[in-house]
């Protein structure tokens, strides 16, 4: 029994597994086109992966089936040393019920877009969905179907991995059937209470979830916001941005609870204005392993 106990205690839990050290960034525009500032950023901060939004999947107003929307075009290419990770955003209402062949259609469309645009060496697909307790079961079944469709193309593509985004409120749910999750540490607050707390990121909104991190049974990368959200509130322009101090405060708190969250860091998203919003030493601290 003592031998069994020692062996059991020595086993590595899934949440103890670290992703390989990697600096990454999201690309969330409808045309892949990089200017000199953006290319320099990829090089300066040793960005190895770009999670590139290929298209959205939304419920069509005229049918009862989901359909693609806002598909990206490729006016440019990534540097040869940067891996492309096709990312698809699916609205939560698409998961209120199952849709036949939706997973196959999405995987086929990604593969076709890669072939058409000569995008090679793609090894992973990411699905982004703000699923809830209402849609979770359908979404997890959908992810299983995506994995099956990826496996069915193993002889014709290099795609082998599937990841999904994890919002803070989803940490209380069972883990999805994917290789790893990306913990989205932004859009954490209530947009209606913007005068009290920053709706993009506020440590006070993150704090209640810290205790869930250590036991969450899935390897995690972490994504931090570097963007600005501009909106019109009662005919007044309001700009939401997060201070460097707040980002780093949250980052340090997360990594204190779960040390391996420092391995794989992502920022949202690649854009010249976002790059210029923070000093180089801030990005160095964000990407620090």
**CATH number, domain with residue 51:** 3.20.20.80
Q: Is residue 7 part of a domain?
A: no
Instruction: Judge whether 68 and 56 are in contact, CB under 8 Å.
Output: yes
For residue 17, what pLDDT is reported?
A: 65
Closest among 88, 31, 103 to 55, alpha carbons compared: 88
- What was the pLDDT predicted at 60? 84
- Output the pLDDT for position 13: 54
Q: Which of 2-6, 24-28, 48-52, 123-127 has the lowest mean pLDDT?
A: 2-6
- Round to whole Å and give the CA distance between 88 and 74: 16
Q: Check residue 147 and give its pLDDT.
A: 98
Whether residue 276 lies inside any domain: the answer is yes
Q: Is residue 266 part of a domain?
A: yes
264: helix, coil or strand? strand
pLDDT exceeds 80 at position 63: no
What is the pLDDT confidence band of residue 16, given thresholds at 50, 70 and 90?
low
Whole-prediction pTM: 0.94
Residue at 14 is within a domain: no
Structural domain includes residue 170: yes
pLDDT for 62 equals 78
Smallest CA-to-CA distance from 125 within 109, 101, 102, 141 is with 109
18 three-state secondary structure: coil
Those residues whose C-beta lies under 8 Å from the C-beta of residue 282, and which sit 6 or more positions away, are 244, 247, 248
At 134-188, the pLDDT tens digits run 999 999 999 999 999 999 999 899 999 999 999 999 999 999 999 999 999 999 9
Q: What is the pLDDT of residue 6?
A: 37
Lowest-pLDDT choice from 10-14, 56-60, 104-108, 155-159: 10-14
Query: Residue holding tokens 């210029």?
Result: 276
What is the model's pLDDT at position 14? 55
pLDDT score recorded for residue 52:
98
State the average pLDDT over residues 81-85.
98
DSSP bridge partners of 88: 55, 127
Angle in degrees, CA 96, 51, 269, rounded to 5: 100
The predicted pLDDT at position 15 comes to 61
The count of residues in the chain is 289
Residue with tokens 């390989």: 20
- The answer as to whether 13 is a domain residue is no
Give residue 90's domain range: 19-286
What pLDDT is attached to residue 18?
Answer: 67
Instruction: Please give the average per-residue pLDDT across 255-274, as a whole number.
Output: 97
User: pLDDT tens for residues 88-145?
Assistant: 999 999 999 999 999 999 999 999 999 999 999 999 999 999 999 999 999 999 999 9
Q: Tell me, what's the pLDDT at 124?
A: 98
Q: Is residue 38 part of a domain?
A: yes
| Mean pLDDT calculated for residue range 241-264 | 97
pLDDT of residue 61: 79
The pLDDT assigned to 9 comes to 37
Q: Let me know if residue 8 belongs to a domain.
A: no
**What is the predicted pLDDT for the residue at 10?**
41
Radius of gyration (C-alpha) of the chain in whole angstroms? 19
Q: What is the mean pLDDT of the chain?
A: 94
Using DSSP's 3-state secondary structure scheme, residue 38 falls into: helix
For the chain, what is the domain count?
Answer: 1
Which of the pair, 224 or 236, is modelled with greater confidence?
A: 224
């Amino acid at each position: 029994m003592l031998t069994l106990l020692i062996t059991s205690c020595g086993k590595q839990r899934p949440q103890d597994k670290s992703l390989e050290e990697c600096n990454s960034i999201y690309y969330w525009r409808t045309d892949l086109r990089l200017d000199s500032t953006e290319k320099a950023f990829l090089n300066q901060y040793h960005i190895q992966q770009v999670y590139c939004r290929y298209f959205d999947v939304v419920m069509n107003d005229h049918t009862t089936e989901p359909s693609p929307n806002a598909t990206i075009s490729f006016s440019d290419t990534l540097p040869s040393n940067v891996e492309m990770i096709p990312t698809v955003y699916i609205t939560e209402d698409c998961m209120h019920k199952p849709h036949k062949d939706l997973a196959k259609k999405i995987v086929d469309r990604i593969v076709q877009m890669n072939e058409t645009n000569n995008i090679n060496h793609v090894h992973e697909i990411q699905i982004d969905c703000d699923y809830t307790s209402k849609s979770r079961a359908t979404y997890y079944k959908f992810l299983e179907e995506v994995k099956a469709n990826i496996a069915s193309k193993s002889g014709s593509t290099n795609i082998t991995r599937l990841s999904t985004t994890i919002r803070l409120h989803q940490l209380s749910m069972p883990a999805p059937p994917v290789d790893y999750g990306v913990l989205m540490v932004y859009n954490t607050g209530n947009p209606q209470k913007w005068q009290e707390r920053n709706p993009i990121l506020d440590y006070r909104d993150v704090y209640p979830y810290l205790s869930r991190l250590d036991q969450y049974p899935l390897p995690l990368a972490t994504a931090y916001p570097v963007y600005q959200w501009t909106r019109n509130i009662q005919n007044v322009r309001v700009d939401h941005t997060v201070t460097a101090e707040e980002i780093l405060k949250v980052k340090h708190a997360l990594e204190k609870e779960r040390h391996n969250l420092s391995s794989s860091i992502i920022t949202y998203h690649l854009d010249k204005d976002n790059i210029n919003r923070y000093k180089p030493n801030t990005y160095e601290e964000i990407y620090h392993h």
